[in-house]
Amino acid sequence: MAAEEAISSDRELVRRSDRHQVVVIGSGFGGLFGTEALKRSDVDVTMIAKTSHHLFQPLLYQVATGILSEGEIAPPTREVLSSQKNAQVLLGEVTDIDLETRTVTSHVLGRELKTPYDSLIVAAGAGQSYFGNDHFAEYAPGMKSIDDALELRGRIFGAFEMAELGASRGENVDHLLTFVVVGAGPTGVEMAGQIAELAHRTLKKDFRAINSKHARVILVDAAPQVLPPFGQKLGTWTEKKLETLGVEVKLGGMVTDVDERGLVLKYKDGSEERISSVTKVWAAGVQANPLGKTLSEQTGAGLDRAGRISVNPDLTLPGHPEVFVVGDMISLDNLPGVAQVAIQGAKYAAHEIDNRLKGKAPQGPFRYHDKGSMAIVSRFEAVAMVGKLRLTGFLAWLMWLIVHLFYITGFKNRVTAILHWFISFIGRGRSERTMTEQQIFARIALQRLKGGTTELVSEPGEYDAEAERVRREELEARAAEEAHLTDDNLRGVHLPG
């Protein structure tokens, strides 16, 4: 069959060639490693993702606190896959999967695209969960995207700026200098630790009307301990280290309300506590991509409370061996929501697709190999859990450094990351402290548009040849005048008359 392209109303149906068509949904760890694993297979791979970059999500908190730039942890997906000739990258958010017709529907800025597949790898990941209180997000951004990190950077550094302004006018600025991180998992611990270092070390000489060392950093969680997945011993060690940094740890308190100026904690005994804080970070809980529900409705596969879908032992959907689901979207054998699960699952799926095309026997059930978990508490201090080995302090921090350097995509990004870490950990500087009002308020402004970003985009207008001719003549005349002034040394010369 020759390459074909069919059009139905305003939606395109694309098939690249007569080769086996693999569609990969998502550009995260699962999507990227799954695509790369098919590099030598006799297939065409089409990656569809709602962002044009591959995000190294574990380092988002360092973008939010000014250590790294977004480019260092989010290289362009096209650049990463540029040498893989059988891979194509399409921008778009997947909104539907039709298992009967084997098509994937995606949208971007009002444009709809339908892409057919012979095999499908769904690696759409997970988003932030507010446990049914999605309105909290307006005042407490999550930590799942570059947009989140840049907004939080603006909110964090902006809080110090507003506090300096308020204190200069004699106002009480305690609510501006109180930072609350919700969720005592790895992301929450790392975020709280870095905000504390930022306030108590990096910014201590930068202000005149306020003392940044007086800032409060509060880590809250409804759980009874810090870092529950790391066990009691490492959790207790981490809690003590955070308190040494000046972080207030409040456990057993559930967030029941969030507004612009603070939040409310409710404890088991029924008592409530209100914390006045303008800057809140939500790092508690994840919710699987809504595509899990779409697949569940078509296959009957169950969903757990986080929206993760039950899959067969080979990561396929019941009755649909051509569809693999990997990473944070799956509910299987109590697998954790970490990058390694997505990476190993995607590689497994890619290998299985390749085996089928070559007529080889199936691999057998997917088996996850735990390569350990780690979290940085502060500079030179971390916790690590690898098998039965438990490490704390500098050795764990060194292990964290090596592992994260290994998984950062691209030599250039590794080098710049090392330089920025040197500046931040050895010195006290932060290379990425730029923040704008646009970063802080753009998300809220877009949400208030009924049609979102689609309302800001118009269809291409009709071509106007006469207008183009007039514009071209104006530009040519202006360029000739600029060259004349330079060539005749007339710039800065007063001409009579």
Across the strands, what pairs with 138? none
Phi, psi for residue 449 in degrees, rounded to 5 = -85, 125
Query: Could you identify the residue written with the tokens 């753009």?
Result: 442
Which contiguous run of DSSP H or E holds residue 342?
helix 339-357
8 A C-beta contact, residue 383 and residue 238? yes
DSSP state of 452: G
Beta strand segments in 26-173, E = 43-49, 87-91, 93-98, 103-108, 111-116, 119-122, 126-128
Is 184 exposed, middle or buried (CB count within 10 Å of its CB: 0-12, 13-18, 19+)? Answer: buried
250, β-bridge pairs: 220
Q: How far apart are CA 401 and CA 2, in angstroms?
A: 49
Catalytic, out of 72, 151, 190, 239 = 190
Q: What whole-number distance in Å separates Cα of residue 345 and Cα of residue 289?
A: 17
Which alpha helices (DSSP H) does 38-185 contain, by range? 60-64, 70-73, 77-80, 146-168
Residues 6+ apart with CB under 8 A from 221: 182, 183, 184, 185, 188, 250, 251, 252, 253, 284
386 CB burial (10 A radius; 0-12, 13-18, 19+): middle
| CA distances to 199, 223, 224, 269, 307 from 252, in Å | 26, 5, 5, 10, 25
Size of the chain in residues: 497
Question: What is d(CA 486, CA 497) in angstroms, rounded to the nearest whole number?
Answer: 20
User: Can you tell me whether residue 174 is helix, strand or coil?
Assistant: coil
Q: Is 190 a catalytic residue?
A: yes
> What are phi and psi for residue 495, nearest 5 degrees?
-100, 130
Give the integer Cα–Cα distance in Å for 288 and 328: 6
Active-site positions read 190
